[in-house]
Amino acid sequence: MCGIFGFAKTSNGQSDHQLDILKRTFTNLADESSTRGKDSTGFSIMNPLNRYTYKTLTDSSTLTRTDEWFNVIDKIDRDTSIVLGHTRFATTGAKVVTNAHPFNIGEVVGIHNGVIYNYNQVARKLGKAIPQVDSEVIFQSLNRKDKSKAFESINGDFAVAWAKENNTTLHLAREDGRPMVISYWKKAKVLFFASTEDIMSNAMLDAGLVLDIIKVPTDIIYSYDTSKFTKLVDYKEEKFKTISQETIDDYGYGFNYGYGGWYSKYNTNTCDTTYENDVEDGYCINCADYSYKNGYCAEHLPSDMCTKNMSPASKALYENKVDYCEVCFEDTVDDELEYDADIRKYVCIDCEWDIPNYDGKLLTEGDIDEEGNTNRVS
């Protein structure tokens, strides 16, 4: 998990005293957010004309007690419109400054808490090199697409904050797997956000603020135009959907385990989906090859799918389905197998939990020998 925090405010709308409280609250948010990640600290300070981004491998609880912090925090002034802060708990990518958040990609600057399971596939679809950090593909997608469309190819857990084009509108979005809360200080026209209610309440209490804290609803992009803040915070809503949400909606259930991107095999014993000579309509959610209209390529079609309208080539490939675990090589019925997109093998339920991929790195074929033993030290 990582910590995300920050604020959006009306430019030139605060007194000197309110500005001092704002800086203290932001410092407290950074300090409190160290509990969610100590591998790096970063933030972006924006006004309507400029952006300043700072990143360091120093954890935030240490950084906020140094002269360097106060030299940087002094850049927050009356002109400031948005500040994004992040504390990183590294899951993918080395612990180096370039992998710290925020990410500046094109017109977008943003921060992310969570895990994107299919980040390599998303990068390919965008025509980008596979990044070291999974979070980058979110902002690559937001830079390329309209914000409501940017999440359609994403499968993962996330809470995201970003600005695009202008530096006066803050965007917040999350899905159910990651927390985020907001709080509005109407006298100063400042909207705070943080990962959890505890972080927010502790940060405000120490700064002398007592404000209502609200959980950000899921599956909606909230856009806050700071130029329109009054005693009420101005915002617009826009719904979004991800791959995992569409899978659940279309097939009834679906779930992931850790970083492996595991999927249950869905029951589709109907002919509702036609293949029309295997017309390609997107990308396979397992391997990023072109998919059929159900979101799978021929190699990764679910085990009990109707074959009535498949092309001969797809049907032949489909009917030659695996009926044993490709890790332990034990025979099993196919509905007890799951496809692991990282090692490109069908794995039984027992082996699924034995693969030690919890060090934040995805397994590759080189991590498993021919006898199904893992070479990775967990």
- pLDDT-derived band at 92 (thresholds 50, 70, 90) equals confident
Rounded CA gap, 244 and 233, in Å?
Answer: 31
Q: Is the pLDDT of residue 85 over 60?
A: yes
Q: Is the pLDDT of residue 199 over 90?
A: yes
Residue with tokens 């007890």: 336
Output the pLDDT for position 306: 56
Q: Where are the beta strands (DSSP E) in the chain?
A: 3-9, 40-46, 51-56, 82-88, 103-105, 108-116, 156-164, 169-174, 181-185, 190-194, 214-215, 220-225, 235-239, 337-340, 345-348
Q: pTM above the 0.75 mark? A: no
Output the pLDDT for position 67: 94
Residue with tokens 């370039």: 98
Mind listing the pLDDT tens digit for each residue in 130-139?
888 999 999 9
**Where do the structural domains in the chain lie, given as residue ranges?**
3-239
- pLDDT-derived band at 372 (thresholds 50, 70, 90) equals very low
Average pLDDT of 202-230?
94
Mind listing the pLDDT tens digit for each residue in 9-53?
999 999 999 999 999 999 999 999 999 999 999 999 999 999 999
Looking at 13-27, 106-120, 289-303, which range is the least confident one?
289-303
Largest CA distance in the chain: 74
Q: Is the pLDDT of residue 270 over 90?
A: no
- pLDDT-derived band at 304 (thresholds 50, 70, 90) equals low
- pLDDT-derived band at 302 (thresholds 50, 70, 90) equals low
Mind listing the pLDDT tens digit for each residue in 242-251?
876 544 333 3
Rounded CA gap, 178 and 180, in Å?
Answer: 7
- pLDDT-derived band at 177 (thresholds 50, 70, 90) equals confident
Average pLDDT of 173-198?
95
Output the pLDDT for position 265: 28
Mean confidence (pLDDT) of the chain = 77
Output the pLDDT for position 186: 94
What's the CATH architecture for 3-239? 4-Layer Sandwich (3.60)
Average pLDDT of 100-117?
95
